[in-house]
Chains A and B, each alone.
Chain A
Amino acid sequence: MMRFLLLFSRQGKLRLQKWFTPLVERERKKVVRDMTLMVLGRPPRSCNFLHWKDLKVVYKRYASLYFCCGLDDKDNELLALEVLHRYVELLDKYFGNVCELDIIFNFEKAYFILDEFLMGGEVQETSKVTVAKSIEASDMLQETMEEYMSKPAF
């Protein structure tokens, strides 16, 4: 199973963090620090896999963002790489040409989309159509743009 998923920028700014096993805040910070240091320090065109402690680390860069996850020792690295890719595709489908700013401003959406796709560190639904449908459905339950614009800013 996946232990954690992190999205961070080239400058090491954390954009999304998802922890599938309980860790105290201090340990989380340590993992984030180690991951950003390790991954950002890698020369281009290195392989996408690393070992860290007893975990496998799989990462991939998409434009300005690094997607990085920690896996159990027995897990399949290539498949994890495609989990990352599928997540990117889902974000892309939702936001339309997704970029880092979309994830910054709509971080809660990025979490919701991830929740539709993964749960407890395991793949829940691999079909892009199905995931997209349920995201759409939940958006339908939300306010319209008009309602939104009439809301106060503070």
Chain B
Amino acid sequence: MPAVSKGDGMRGLAVFISDIRNCKSKEAEIKRINKELANIRSKFKGDKALDGYSKKKYVCKLLFIFLLGHDIDFGHMEAVNLLSSNKYTEKQIGYLFISVLVNSNSELIRLINNAIKNDLASRNPTFMCLALHCIANVGSREMAEAFAGEIPRILVAGDTMDSVKQSAALCLLRLYKTSPDLVLMGEWTSRVVHLLNDQHMGVVTAAISLITCLSQKNPEEFKTCVSLAVSRLSRIVSSASTDLQDYTYYFVPAPWLSCKLLRLLQCYPPPEDGAVKGRLVECLETILNKAQEPPKSKKVQHSNAKNAILFEAISLIIHYDSEPNLLVRACNQLGQFLQHRETNLRYLALESMCTLASSEFSHEAVKTHIETVISALKTERDVSVRQRAADLLYAMCDRSNAKQIVAEMLSYLETADYSIREEMVLKVAILAEKYAVDYSWYVDTILNLIRIAGDYVSEEVWYRVIQIVINRDDVQGYAAKTVFEALQAPACHENMVKVGGYILGEFGNLIAGDPRSSPLIQFNLLHSKFHLCSVPTRALLLSAYIKFINLFPETKSTIQEVLRSDSQIRNSDVELQQRAVEYLKLSSIASTDVLATVLEEMPPFPERESSILAKLKKKKGPGAVSTELEEGKRDGGELNGGAERGVDAAAAIASNASTPSPSADLLGLRSAPPVGSAAPSASSLLVDVFSEAGPTAPSGVMDDNFLSSAPNSSSFGSEESAPPLPESDELLNKFVCKNNGVLFENQLLQIGIKSEYRQNLGRMYLFYGNKTSVQFVSFSTSVSCPGELQSELNIQAKQVEPQVEGGAQVQQVINIECLADFLEAPLLNIKFRYGGALQNITLKLPVTINKFFQPTEMSSQDFFQRWKQLNLPQQEAQKIFKAKNAMDSEVLKAKLLGLGTALLENVDPNPENFVCAGVIQTKAQQVGCLLRLEPNAQAQMYRLTLRSSKDTVSRRLCELLSEQF
């Protein structure tokens, strides 16, 4: 233990910290901490009043324990007590504890606010600063309400100490950021601007952060700050390196203040006043000149501070975008940095040049550095620098260099880091499309992309290439030829098969003249890939086959045979089976005219902006740290769901009307799937053709006796339904992992359940058994969806006979459609009279979100890649809990299978763990879910982690499952 150097070390604390450090294991540490927590708790609870010192020491220990990562659930009150201590050291620890541990909606806020109020009024600058810091650290709305009026007064009062002014300025900034509506502009605002002239550099430095933020929101009110900022900047820039004493940092005068001034100026357009503008341009030139001067120190701090100002000045020059001379100088300066031996500077130069590339004055100048940037992409050792180089290439790309840049990016992709591949793919796809002069180059580029980085090619990218090929007839023949060649490769990516299937299905006829790509060869080539593909791709291929029958009548018998084979027509996947049946019927019943109309070539897509751009913007993903952006959900994480959409759309389009898919979303054309002029007549014909194999369950079918879903809407009985039985949650939990069993039993009645689910639909059979020998009369049941559940589940229950004979059993069928993911369970209410007495029972119907799981098999690599994609904090739910039953791995397996997911073998490196994957099917969307269960036999505990693209789903599944083991 080192000697405590100064001030008031707390001996007990030091001993405790040293004990913790001496713990040999995590268990020992936890033991020591629990002992300490018990000790502190007993001291706090004890009869003897603690003195200030002890209170401080214990609060500080609690803080230490919290910072080690353990939960602290007491001591807050003692910390609040410390706030009103007269001793500075006790107050200080109290405030520190509050700042670290009290979250903004704590109930203690009122007490804390009271203490702060006293300290602010104390006129003791150290106390005032502590209080201001606490406000800034907690920054809650209640605090803003209490102090937003007071702090501006402290800030501009003539007799406020400098240090308090500094704290007040930044504290006000914090409140303004959290609750802008509570910080009212007023007389103080003009006086705040004049703090830019304050004698004390520290006051200016703190105040300018506030002024910058206020100016961004209210530029008009604060515009006088421009001339003040320019003159302040000018004084600093022209001062000698020693003029500013302690505000000179490694021979650079006031780097923080200079940067903040330059940043403030970026809130405004160039000054209109000629004199001010002249002075500012002079400053900027001086800063650029200084970059060429020999350094005044070899220390990296010197060059960092100097260059920080330089980069900020360049940002301002780029922001003004009006001084060609300065822009070109900035660009040349950055060009020098591109070759600098400091990696940091190369990184920043690449980053800064990206913005410069978009200015018309400097775009050409940036382009001259293309070779350097390409070599950076190839040779930089640091991936973050390479990423910046790729960004810059993207930014500097135009028609003149597109081919070179796209080629370089493609070749870089082969070795690129996995973390940036998807983004690179999107960028290449965008550039190829944007600057394509001839579309054969575009097609080549996208096919290359799929070849090189197929796994990273998102739906949007291959949708887009199809959209473009369909819209441009000059490229269709070439596209058909190229995909045909690409498919020759023995192992080609599934995305290639999708594009190939789609394009040959549409335009295979354009290359059928060549005997090397005759219709049958084309078909056999596609079909050779069929068995290696996932269900959605197979579905797409089936649509391509039916199109082949129309394009090439000679393939009809071969294709019909394929469709007729058991593996298609009896396929266990509903979608595939349906397509096989429908297409087989279509091809054998419809006349060639009908076929030609139904399977007509796709009409052109309306010209739209590429959806890939939107995808790229989304890729950047919101940060977990920015609360405003939290709401935004990252789309990229959607598992499997996307693929389905594409195929649905392809199917809807290929067969044009067989199952009008509500989710047709090809190429981002959400609103209106393209419909050819022939479609209306075609669809009316098709209705007949498909009358036997009609759509499985369009929503309309269920509507006729759909029970109103308002709670307690039973048509019988003026009596209200009883509240759910206390044990109903427990009963519900019994059915999470199984579909059949006895839901409820008492002396009179037994209720059995059998249920089956497919995709987003379910059917449940309820068996009500009368255990007595007496008839039940006025027997009625109703199912209701309380609250939000109404819009999430569509439930329809057949009525039951009002009498149940003694010893008899009646059956009730319930149809369930899942519209969106849901949390609560529907309520089942049963009422009947037994010997005159009314029985009124309400249970929870065991319909839980996991019932709509479709298992998804995937490889270990896919699993972990998807797992990593779902990395937003809200996408994950985790629980650690004690085992309730014996930890038998066979039982666990059975339960996990019962859950509805696929249990993946050999995925988790630890064979004791279980991982599962599945997609929850709702009408509105599909939610991919990954699950990991880690049993710890020794501790008899489990850790359960769920990740899914939807936070509510992760949480709900975690909740449900944690009750199962």
B residues near A78, Cβ cutoff 8 Å: 304-305, 307-308, 311, 344, 348
CB <8 Å contact, B171 and A47: no
CB <8 Å contact, A30 and B11: no
With contacts A76-B311, A106-B4, A120-B136 taken as known, whether A141 is within 8 angstroms of B624 at the C-beta atoms is no
Residue of A nearest to B250 (CB): A82
The number of residues on chain B lying at the interface, defined by a beta carbon within 8 Å of a beta carbon of chain A, is 88
Distance in Å: Cβ of B304 to nearest Cβ of chain A? 5
CB <8 Å contact, B384 and A119: no
CB <8 Å contact, A48 and B344: yes
Interface 0/1 of B234-270, CB less than 8 Å to A? 0000000000001101000011110100010000000
A142 and B263 alpha carbons, distance in the complex (Å): 40
A residues near B620, Cβ cutoff 8 Å: 54
With contacts A85-B301, A122-B206, A141-B88 taken as known, whether A127 is within 8 angstroms of B21 at the C-beta atoms is no
A4 and B626 alpha carbons, distance in the complex (Å): 11
Partner of A82, one of B1, B93, B305: B305
CB <8 Å contact, A76 and B173: no
The number of residues on chain A lying at the interface, defined by a beta carbon within 8 Å of a beta carbon of chain B, is 77
A22 and B254 alpha carbons, distance in the complex (Å): 30
A128 and B343 alpha carbons, distance in the complex (Å): 28
Partner of B2, one of A50, A102, A107: A102
Distance in Å: Cβ of A19 to nearest Cβ of chain B? 9
B residues near A52, Cβ cutoff 8 Å: 623
4 closest A-B pairs by CB: A53-B623, A142-B8, A78-B308, A120-B174
CB <8 Å contact, A96 and B5: yes
Distance in Å: Cβ of B243 to nearest Cβ of chain A? 14
B103 close to chain A: CB less than 8 A: yes
With contacts A23-B625, A119-B167, A126-B256 taken as known, whether A104 is within 8 angstroms of B21 at the C-beta atoms is yes
CB <8 Å contact, B6 and A139: yes
With contacts A76-B308, A112-B96 taken as known, whether A54 is within 8 angstroms of B626 at the C-beta atoms is yes
Considering only residues 60-85 of chain A, those with a C-beta below 8 Å from chain B are 70, 74, 76-79, 81-82, 85
A119 and B410 alpha carbons, distance in the complex (Å): 46
Interface 0/1 of A116-143, CB less than 8 Å to B? 0001101111111110001001110111
CB <8 Å contact, B96 and A108: yes
Give 6 A-B contacts (CB < 8 Å), ordered by A residue: A78-B348, A112-B96, A119-B132, A126-B254, A127-B246, A153-B12
CB <8 Å contact, A154 and B2: no
CB <8 Å contact, B171 and A105: no
With contacts A3-B625, A45-B343 taken as known, whether A108 is within 8 angstroms of B4 at the C-beta atoms is no
A4 and B18 alpha carbons, distance in the complex (Å): 27
A126 and B17 alpha carbons, distance in the complex (Å): 32
CB <8 Å contact, A79 and B308: yes
Known interface pairs A14-B69, A30-B873, A82-B249; 20 further A-B residue pairs with C-beta atoms within 8 A, sorted by A's residue number: A22-B103, A29-B69, A51-B384, A54-B623, A54-B626, A55-B623, A78-B305, A79-B259, A79-B305, A81-B304, A120-B171, A122-B206, A122-B209, A123-B209, A124-B170, A126-B205, A139-B6, A143-B8, A151-B10, A154-B12
CB <8 Å contact, B348 and A151: no
CB <8 Å contact, A126 and B12: no
CB <8 Å contact, B136 and A151: no
A143 and B126 alpha carbons, distance in the complex (Å): 17
Distance in Å: Cβ of A88 to nearest Cβ of chain B? 11
CB <8 Å contact, A137 and B301: no
A residues near B6, Cβ cutoff 8 Å: 94, 139
B381 close to chain A: CB less than 8 A: yes
Most buried by B among A22, A104, A120, A143: A120
CB <8 Å contact, A105 and B259: no
CB <8 Å contact, A142 and B89: yes
Distance in Å: Cβ of B775 to nearest Cβ of chain A? 56
A residues near B89, Cβ cutoff 8 Å: 141-143
B104 close to chain A: CB less than 8 A: yes
Q: Is the interface of A mostly helix, strand, loop or mixed?
A: mixed
Interface residues of B (CB under 8 A from A): 1-2, 4-12, 14-15, 17-18, 21, 39, 53, 60, 63-64, 67, 69, 87-89, 92-93, 96, 100, 103-104, 126, 132-133, 136, 139-140, 163, 166-167, 170-171, 173-174, 177-178, 201-202, 205-206, 209, 246-247, 249, 254-257, 259, 263, 301, 304-305, 307-308, 311-312, 343-344, 346-348, 381-382, 384-385, 387, 620-627, 629, 873
Partner of B11, one of A17, A77, A85, A153: A153
Partner of A122, one of B17, B173, B307: B173
With contacts A4-B625, A120-B173, A142-B8 taken as known, whether A130 is within 8 angstroms of B246 at the C-beta atoms is yes
A102 and B312 alpha carbons, distance in the complex (Å): 36
A residues near B11, Cβ cutoff 8 Å: 148-149, 151-153
CB <8 Å contact, A106 and B348: no
A86 and B166 alpha carbons, distance in the complex (Å): 18
Partner of B347, one of A49, A108, A138: A49
A residues near B177, Cβ cutoff 8 Å: 120
A residues near B15, Cβ cutoff 8 Å: 153-154
B residues near A50, Cβ cutoff 8 Å: 384
A residues near B2, Cβ cutoff 8 Å: 101-102, 105
Partner of A53, one of B4, B163, B621: B621
A72 and B409 alpha carbons, distance in the complex (Å): 28
CB <8 Å contact, B624 and A30: yes
A69 and B708 alpha carbons, distance in the complex (Å): 55
B residues near A1, Cβ cutoff 8 Å: 209
CB <8 Å contact, A129 and B246: yes
A130 and B203 alpha carbons, distance in the complex (Å): 12
Residue of A nearest to B20 (CB): A104
A151 and B178 alpha carbons, distance in the complex (Å): 42
Residue of B nearest to A77 (CB): B348
Considering only residues 29-43 of chain A, those with a C-beta below 8 Å from chain B are 29-31, 42-43
CB <8 Å contact, A27 and B624: yes
Residue of A nearest to B342 (CB): A47
B residues near A143, Cβ cutoff 8 Å: 7-8, 89
A14 and B66 alpha carbons, distance in the complex (Å): 12
A70 and B622 alpha carbons, distance in the complex (Å): 14
Residue of B nearest to A13 (CB): B68
CB <8 Å contact, B626 and A21: yes
A128 and B307 alpha carbons, distance in the complex (Å): 21
CB <8 Å contact, A119 and B126: no
Partner of A119, one of B136, B247, B347: B136
CB <8 Å contact, B171 and A119: yes
CB <8 Å contact, B5 and A102: yes
A126 and B204 alpha carbons, distance in the complex (Å): 11
A128 and B247 alpha carbons, distance in the complex (Å): 8
B residues near A126, Cβ cutoff 8 Å: 201-202, 205, 247, 249, 254, 256-257
CB <8 Å contact, B627 and A125: no
A87 and B232 alpha carbons, distance in the complex (Å): 26
CB <8 Å contact, B67 and A17: yes
CB <8 Å contact, A106 and B173: no
With contacts A22-B104, A46-B384, A148-B11 taken as known, whether A53 is within 8 angstroms of B622 at the C-beta atoms is yes
